[in-house]
Amino acid sequence: MKKSLNILWMMTAAVLLMSACSEDNPVGDPNLGTIDATTYVAIGNSLTAGYQSGALYQDAQLYSYPNLLAQQLGSVGFEQPLMPLPGTGELRTLQTLSPSPLITSNGITQSIPTNATLARPYNNLGLPGAIIYDAIDESDILLRAQQRSNPFYMFIMRDQQNFGKSLVDQAIMLNPTLLSFWLGNNDVLGYAASGGVKGTNTGVGGDPAGTMPTERAVFQQIVQGAFAKLKAALPNTKVLVANIPDVTSIPFFTTVPRSIPNPTNPTQMLDIYYRNKAGNVGKVGENDYILLTAQEQLQKGIGLTPNAPLESQYVLDNTEVSVTLQAVTDYNTILMTEAERNGFVLVDVNSALGDLAANGYFAAGEGYSTAFISGGFFSLDGIHMSNRGAAFVANLFIAALNRAYGANIRYIPFNTIPGIAAPLSVGTGKRPASLWTLDMQFPTGNLLSIFGVK
């Protein structure tokens, strides 16, 4: 049975299907400087794996930022655990734009990598769902897969006895000449995306375990251990460390407005109500975020009166926002400090995505933003990058390599990367009764900002 998600605002196919030109490249002949790109390995989570629109599948994996980077560097033999369609997860598809965008899913599926018998670790060790502890966790992957309901441990890490017990161990086995490390996002995103209801903390900081982002001291200890192990085993390897963006700037948190038009009187704006973790009911305020997952609830009328508020897991309130932003700051300070201590190169994804959120991004006259779907850089789950978003990240890594190692690596031109797939139909202007929606619209200011109007 198809599960429908009726997006809260309208956009045009012209915005969706726009193509971009290449970035301005450094002058002079391309060269790698002092970089040896013979063997490149990437450690990370779903952002590294190429996870898109709710699933890990081959068509998107081919545009993972590490695979794009490997191609640009000329690194041969870069292996990923390629998942044939429909992939593993809950793949979302854009069905129509009219009268409002409709995204559907055929439910949860699971694929086996076509190269599951590869007799060595994968070069792309992006493990969807991984937290910072997974970098050094040596526990049995079957047990982890069962405890966390995450099949990716078995698909990505496979043979612990022969390949290495942890992600860092498996990376070391490949003896990479270049390595990227991008973990820690889920240590704060898990908390934020649950509306502050769940977390990855251990409990040593005083809060109950599983209710907050990973404690700063725990995060620091793990990063120090992982970096020290990499440095000791791979003293000559060039290592890139990416930091963590402000997760509240992604479409999962910014798409649903804080008030909506009354469906029976569009000139009237309706407040949205929610129940916080303490059980108190109040209006959603200007410093709160309504999660993308709240759409279905709002379409049922839940959240439109104080007597039927949204539950806490659908709203990240201002107190929880402060916790989230503090965790991002703490983690990034640790990553920067430890990268410098070990002579690793920092890739400042945080600043780049912050600038994207504030100002948009322009490549040869074409514009992108963090807006859901129309922005072009995020996939249909509102969390993970699209193909072009992955190219944007790969170019951040290229810029860091060029600066640090005297290289002149060409940026990936966006016009060579496919955009979000066009909808399967443009719609007839009518919608079956079973898919009735409030047809909510953004307030004018937000709607204009989607298209770069300040």
On whether residue 44 sits in a domain, the answer given is yes
On whether residue 14 sits in a domain, the answer given is yes
Instruction: Give me the domain span that covers residue 241.
Output: 3-252+331-450
Q: Report pLDDT digits (tens) over 208-264.
A: 999 999 999 999 999 999 999 999 999 999 999 999 999 999 999 999 999 988 878
Could you tell me which of 431, 396, 430 has the C-alpha nearest to residue 411? 396
On whether residue 290 sits in a domain, the answer given is no
Phi, psi of 340 (to 5 degrees): -65, -40
Does pLDDT of 453 surpass 80?
no
Pick the more confident residue, 415 or 173.
173
Alpha carbon distance 389, 348 (integer Å): 15
Distances (CA, A) of 113 to 38, 58, 116: 24, 9, 5
* CATH label of the domain that carries residue 339: 3.40.50.1110
For 125, the 3-state DSSP assignment is strand
Alpha carbon distance 240, 343 (integer Å): 10
On whether residue 272 sits in a domain, the answer given is no
pLDDT band at 170 (very low <50, low <70, confident <90, very high): very high
Does pLDDT of 49 surpass 80?
yes
On whether residue 306 sits in a domain, the answer given is no
Tell me the mean pLDDT in the region 131-151: 95
On whether residue 100 sits in a domain, the answer given is yes
On whether residue 55 sits in a domain, the answer given is yes
Long-range Cβ pairs for the range 104-107 (8 Å, 24+): 104/2, 104/3, 104/4, 104/5, 105/2, 105/3, 105/5, 105/54, 106/2, 106/3, 107/1, 107/3
On whether residue 132 sits in a domain, the answer given is yes
Contacts of 174 (CB under 8 A, 6+ apart): 39, 41, 120, 121, 123
Q: Look at the chain and count its residues.
A: 454
Q: For the chain, what is the domain count?
A: 1
Task: Record the pTM.
Answer: 0.88
pLDDT band at 424 (very low <50, low <70, confident <90, very high): low
Does pLDDT of 171 surpass 90?
yes
Handedness of CA 377, 245, 79, 115 (dihedral sign): negative
Contact 2, 105 (CB under 8 A): yes
pLDDT band at 8 (very low <50, low <70, confident <90, very high): very low
Alpha carbon distance 168, 229 (integer Å): 8
Assigned token pair, 93:
């598809």
